Amino acid sequence: MCGIVGYIGHRDAAVIVVDGLRRLEYRGYDSAGVAVLNGHGIEVRREAGKLAQLESLLVQSPIGGPLGIGHTRWATHGPPVQRNAHPHSSPDAQMVVVQNGIVENFQPLRRLLQDRGYVFHSDTDTEVIVHLIHSHYHNGSERDLIHAVRAAAAELEGPSAIGVICQDDPERLVVVRLGNAGGVVIGHGEGETFLASDIPALLPYTRRMQFLENRQMAILSRDGVEIFDLDGNACDLPVTEISWDADAAEKGEYAHFMQKEIFEQAESIQRTLAHRIDFDHYRVDLPELNLSVDAARALRKLTIVACGTSYYAGLVGKFLIEHLARLPVEVDYASEYRYRSPVFGQDEMVLAITQSGETVDTLAAIEEARDFGVFTAAIVNAVGSQAARVCDGVIYMHAGPEIGVASTKAFTTSLVDMALLGIYLAQARGTMTAETHHALIDELAHLPGLVARLLADARQSGHYADLAARYGERHNFLYLGRGINYPVALEGALKLKEISYIHAEGYPAGEMKHGPIALIDERMPTVVVAPRNSVYDKMVSQIEQVKARNGAVLAVAEEDDAYIRAVADAILPIPPVHELLSPVVAVIPLQLLAYEVAVHRGADVDQPRNLAKSVTVE
């Protein structure tokens, strides 16, 4: 949450910083600001609202200079008004600070600084940081920015990524990472160095990037970067060459990132599968997982930890892995996991699922497991993210940058990763018949083609825009699924509520009669996920029960299912596919429905209210 961008070099810093913030706006859009160091000192422009407000201000009142820093905010302390926008300045305007994260002890620090005579102009925790650095800077005869930042960092509690520029130090930009406050990426150019909270901000400028670790400080200059720990010891940090295409972080022909990311799913699934299946021998290999065949065989329990959409992917994973590898799987909300003293045993594995690799609760759950010496792995999308770095093994989603706040392609690619993991474990444990093994691998190979066709048909038919026109004004929706598609119902409901603000509930279909069926009337549409599978008959009787109570039914069903087509009010067609892979195709109509309903209602699809993509605060 919150995005930071910084630049030092030979170009106009404000232009690069604002361009980078545009690519990070998914991290927060409550206010934005930029500070530039030039011959007049440090000049700051900040504005409440989205980045466009700041851009307008910069047109009226431009600032130029070769060193700059900027921020896009997701409000934690204080409302989204101009006085709370970053950067925050010291009283003499000599230094400015931007921050991502939370200063947990900001109240006592604020009182301490007030006693020292500092006057606060905002409600933010960030303002204590700039005053604290300023106070250390002026404490003693020698003014040393690095020393002052280090001394301030030692007093701060809670996760923070902090960027600082100082008028007396015009050739340096300082950044510190304290805890899991979201990424700190340093980009290397020719005679210029970049800073950002995430890779997409820097893709048009450089592919050579470093990822700052917890409790490290980086000093950026035009010629490169020096990295130290907080005791001042020099640190070596590998430079990673990022292969993502710069266009991957642009909307291109699409109206929204979410729409683009929905329509990219055939290609992203193709990338997820690439090089992991040996089709000649029907074998799956996951070398980055670092889990030997012997260790896979010895496993006694797998715990999946994740939040939101990634948690629902984990529920599908439980079904897949228990079915294929006969391994007990627990799925836990990462945000609950660490607050209930989990029990660990020998030969267990904890698997995190996280698109961003920076979700603070998921990282905390991983740490909890690591502290007990449990083998940890992550299904992760963001290259170089904290989850990818700290876990013993990784299975990348290879979805490419996901920028729309509502997760889509990360969900389907993590389902594919989970299918690969299920097969890999089953191979090692000898728990899968050759028939299932071959069938699944053949179907995985066909999956990108099936998804491409489903999406092409949806685009051509305009069906989802029609459905949005018919149902988009309803106030409540119910989503039902059963078996492996029950989590798909939960995910469909989440997609609808987060971008269109319509109340939607996902339920296991079998639970309907235990209460929720009371909700059904002619005003409450029910979306059912009903491919022809082992629970098809149960889903059909569910549809009948809703219809008997005058409820409208929108059914995700196979395109040639004449029975459901006749009985349901609308069909959301999917191709037939192996039951264990059916969630990958079944969720796509629900993404399209949510997207079109949000567009119909005029909602801001890519930047839904109150949300931000990377949840780096608790």
Residues that bind ligand F6R (CB under 6 A): 307-310, 354-356, 359, 362, 406-407, 494, 498, 615
Q: Which is nearer to ligand F6R, 188 or 398 (CB)?
A: 398
What's the closest the beta carbon of residue 165 comes to ligand F6R, in angstroms? 30
Judged by DSSP in three states, 127 sits in helix
Distance CA 301, CA 298 (A): 9
Give just the sign of the alpha carbon dihedral 195, 197, 201, 202: positive
* 541: phi then psi, degrees, rounded to nearest 5: -70, -30
Distance CA 195, CA 222 (A): 12
What totals of helices (H) and strands (E) does the chain contain, helices first? 19, 26
Best CA proximity match to 100, nearest among 199, 200, 32, 1: 1
What's the closest the beta carbon of residue 615 comes to ligand F6R, in angstroms? 5
What's the closest the beta carbon of residue 310 comes to ligand F6R, in angstroms? 4
In the set 2, 166, 307, 391, the catalytic residue is 2
In the set 260, 409, 495, 613, the catalytic residue is 613
What's the closest the beta carbon of residue 611 comes to ligand F6R, in angstroms? 8
397 CB-contact burial (10 Å; exposed 0-12 / middle 13-18 / buried 19+): buried
Q: Which is nearer to ligand F6R, 299 or 615 (CB)?
A: 615
Q: Which is nearer to ligand F6R, 198 or 558 (CB)?
A: 198
Characterize 554-591 residue by residue with b for buried, 16 or more Cβ atoms within 10 angstroms of its Cβ, and e for exposed. bbbbbeebeebeebbbbbbbbbebbbbbbbbbbbbbbb
Q: Which is nearer to ligand F6R, 494 or 564 (CB)?
A: 494
Best CA proximity match to 28, nearest among 100, 77, 88, 87: 100
Q: Report strand pairing: 216-221 vs 173-178.
A: antiparallel
What's the closest the beta carbon of residue 260 comes to ligand F6R, in angstroms? 15
Cross-strand partners of 504: 477
Q: Does the annotation count 391 as an active-site position? A: no
What's the closest the beta carbon of residue 307 comes to ligand F6R, in angstroms? 4
Q: Which is nearer to ligand F6R, 467 or 615 (CB)?
A: 615
Distance CA 385, CA 212 (A): 10
Q: Which is nearer to ligand F6R, 198 or 348 (CB)?
A: 198
The CB-nearest residue to ligand F6R is: 308
Q: Does the annotation count 613 as an active-site position? A: yes
455 touches 571 (CB < 8 A): no
What's the closest the beta carbon of residue 221 comes to ligand F6R, in angstroms? 32
Element (H, E) at 364: helix 360-371
572 touches 489 (CB < 8 A): no
In the chain, what is the greatest distance between 2 CA atoms, to the nearest angstrom?
84
580 touches 65 (CB < 8 A): no
Active site residues: 2, 613
